[in-house]
Amino acid sequence: MAMINRITASNKNEDSLKHKDQKVAVFVDVQNMYYSGKNLFNRKVNFGMLIKKAVSNRRLIRALAYVIKADMPDENNFREALKNVGFEVKSKDLQIFVGGHKKGDWDVGIAMDTIRLAPKVDTIVLVSGDGDFADLVLYLKGLGCRVEVIGFEKTTSSKLLDVADDFTPIDRKYLI
In this structure, of 26-40, 44-58, 127-141, 146-160, the range with the lowest mean pLDDT score is 26-40
Q: What is the DSSP letter of 175?
A: B
Instruction: With cut-offs at 50, 70 and 90, classify the pLDDT of residue 19.
Output: confident
Specify the pLDDT at position 98. Answer: 75
Of 114, 91, 93, residue with least CA distance to 27: 114
C-alpha 124/C-alpha 103 separation (Å) is 26
Instruction: Check whether 77 has a pLDDT greater than 80.
Output: yes
Q: Which stretch, 16-25, 28-37, 87-96, 135-144, has highest mean pLDDT?
A: 135-144
Query: Do the beta carbons of residue 159 and residue 136 sit within 8 Å?
Result: no
Specify the pLDDT at position 145. Answer: 97
CATH of range 2-9+22-174; options 1.10.10.10, 3.30.420.40, 3.40.50.1010, 3.40.50.300: 3.40.50.1010
pLDDT digits (tens, 9 = 90+) for 101-122: 666 779 999 999 999 999 999 9
171-175: average pLDDT? 88
Specify the pLDDT at position 16. Answer: 63
The structure's pTM equals: 0.87
Q: In this predicted model, which residue has the larger pLDDT, 80 or 105?
A: 80
pLDDT digits (tens, 9 = 90+) for 40-69: 999 999 999 999 999 999 999 999 999 988
Q: Which H/E stretch holds residue 137?
A: helix 134-142
